A = this chain, B = another copy of it.
């Protein structure tokens, strides 16, 4: 009789998107002609940049010719051409990340889930609340208990290190999903110092870094002194370049993160990750890596930044509408998410129903991301200008008094 991983039974069923789908289905069944505007899901809508498509097509053709065909990658951590390109990208905004520390992956979600493999039992895991559910779920699956640092209106939804918790593993996400808040360098420095003083490791999710326009805000934790000794950074091209369906990301594991094992010996965390990936991963599709490389060329940066600017204009529209309506929010600038306070003290789900029923706009109830999300609501800037503008007109019509 195979013993099962019974930690799975401790996972909370994530009803969030199931519930949303159910309510939408019920509504559209009764109102088949309703023109819903979906601003709930964090998926992109704009196509891949032309240079990316060209590079991928070319790589596909190479795979069809004996002389240029590629089989297994040597390391499985990515081709040098892409690791070098990512390293140069980091340099462009002031972070020094050697190519050899960059591990190319099929996306941030995989690495975010798999990184747990290298850690043992009994770690105190600290997650900000609200948060992306994968941080908690991947830890629960491994039998780790999770403590929370509150992100709330008082701290601008930017949780800071709790004085009373000695964490071993810390999850941070900036720009934050779902709240859109962005840590300043000073704030991140506090987290790095906290991690160093506890010999803790930060898992830094930088998936939305490309939305940062304010040059004073850090796009990578490696812009912070000391981070190379304590932080793993996970990033992705999903939001940077619309790779949600193309699948490519990267994880940085600095050689300088050294921890003690139970015998008191030094262990390089990068060695554990290399060993994990060496046994359980075989690299990313070659054409996809060529597409990713193209993102980091000058032309690729120009084209992908134009798409980011398109989404940023949507975010600006949503934020301006909130301003006009006197609604509190975080995000909207330096982030594709607008995290807004439900008006009149409404709960997240009440507001969801209200928008669905009255103006056929679908967002995401903040309560789905953690207890501090209750009474808050997430709108995303990933739609079209037309749909976003129309949704904001409807919202003004509904809430303007």
Binding site for B on A (CB under 8 A): 1-6, 8-9, 11, 41, 43-50, 52-53, 56-57, 60-61, 63-66, 69-73, 106-107, 109-110, 112-114, 117-123, 133-134, 137-138, 141, 168-169, 198-201, 242, 244-248, 259-262, 267, 272, 275-276, 279-288, 291
Contacts and interface: CB of A to CB of B under 8 A. Distances in A.
Contacts of A288: 285, 287-288
Q: How often does this chain occur in the complex, in copies?
A: 2
Given A168-B3, A245-B286, A43 B72 contact: yes
Contacts of A117: 5, 141
A120 B64 contact: no
A112 B64 CA distance: 28
A234 B6 CA distance: 23
Nearest to A111: B280
A245 B109 contact: no
Nearest to A5: B120
A138 B280 contact: yes
Contacts of A119: 2-5
A150 B65 CA distance: 41
Nearest to A247: B285
A53 B63 contact: yes
Contacts of A56: 60, 63, 287
A244 B115 CA distance: 24
Contact of A66 (B4, B46, B65, B107): B46
A246 B2 contact: no
A283 B53 contact: no
Contact of A57 (B44, B61, B114, B276): B61
A60 B56 CA distance: 7
Contacts of A199: 1-2
Contacts of A49: 64
Nearest to A61: B53
